[in-house]
Amino acid sequence: MFIIIEAKLNLSLFLGTPITRESLSHQANIDRLYVHEDFVVDNLMIAVLGLDDCPYGKSIVIHAKLGVFYTDRTSRQLFNEYHDLNGVGFIPARQIAQHLNLPDHLPLVYGHVVYMPMAGKRHKNPDWIGLHMVEKFRSQDDLACFTATNGIEIHLPKKQFDLRTKVHNACLFAETHLQMWALEVSSFGKFSPLHQNVGLTDQFTACLCDVHQLVPKTLAQVSSIRDRHMDKLTRDFSRNDIGIDSAEASKEKIRIYHKMKHY
Ligand SMILES: [Zn+2]
């Protein structure tokens, strides 16, 4: 393996043939990759592939600017660093998951940025795909095939789930988050959300399914999504209180929290 100085060069080497787990295990492709130890997560990752047993790294990042490289961190570790970037990490996704009642396969969502895990939480090092960086997807046997906006094809192993439903649900997280912000921002009377790196996340906005009806329509609904999550957090925080039963403790904390919102 050699170090590629011009990292962007190596991305063009993967144009025209799909990137798969299989293809990345071939020596010719391994030689095209480099090791990026100081990589800091950003929104231009197209996909992150978890590696369970590889001498060069614990994951492979396919990045729109930096190309394809190994990192020394698992995909889970990489995404847990995301809060360094936006300050809140998975909190918006958790709030929305609770509101939409979609607790499985929690995506990372921040506006139009959506990273969708390809396996459940029990998997320590799942593959992730950035739906905001993808323009097309399809199922092919046990593979999920994604075409990135820059033309790179990525095929990831798919477990027993319906890909369209999974992508629909992950995009719904983005719609909900954007709508929450749009309602808040429009209540200020100025600004509108910017459109960039939208990828697939606008694909389902005309959908009329039941879960889509839960996308908030008023500012009050936005507050209630956040409040419900805060209530849950408070209950969780209170679980280990000493000398007072947890139901009492959580009631008291929720009362104090609600009081803080009033003059
Ligand atoms: Zn829908």
233 vs 255: CA distance, rounded Å: 14
Q: Which of 180, 170, 175, 130 is nearest to 154 (CA)?
A: 130
User: Number of helices and strands (H, E) in the chain?
Assistant: 9, 10
pLDDT one-digit tens code per residue, 171-187: 999 999 999 998 888 88
Produce one character per residue of 30-47: b if its CB has 16 or more CB atoms within 10 Å, e if not.
eebbbebeebebebebbb
The residues whose Cβ lies within 5 A of ligand 1, an ion, are 207, 209, 212
pTM of the model: 0.85
Q: Measure 66 CA to ligand 1 centroid, in angstroms.
A: 34
Q: Measure 171 CA to ligand 1 centroid, in angstroms.
A: 9
Q: Measure 230 CA to ligand 1 centroid, in angstroms.
A: 26
pLDDT one-digit tens code per residue, 128-159: 999 999 999 999 999 999 999 999 999 999 98
Write down the pLDDT at residue 1.
Answer: 47
Q: Measure 233 CA to ligand 1 centroid, in angstroms.
A: 28
Q: Which residues contact 254 (CB under 8 A, 6 or more apart)?
A: 231, 234, 235
53 vs 136: CA distance, rounded Å: 30
Write down the pLDDT at residue 2.
Answer: 47
Burial of residue 221 (CB within 10 Å: 0-12, 13-18, 19+) is: middle
Q: Measure 101 CA to ligand 1 centroid, in angstroms.
A: 13
Structure tokens at 245: 């039963």
| Domain assignments of the chain as residue spans, ordered by start | 7-169, 220-260
Q: Measure 100 CA to ligand 1 centroid, in angstroms.
A: 11
Residue 49's DSSP bridge partners are 60
Output 18 or 124, whichever has higher pLDDT: 18
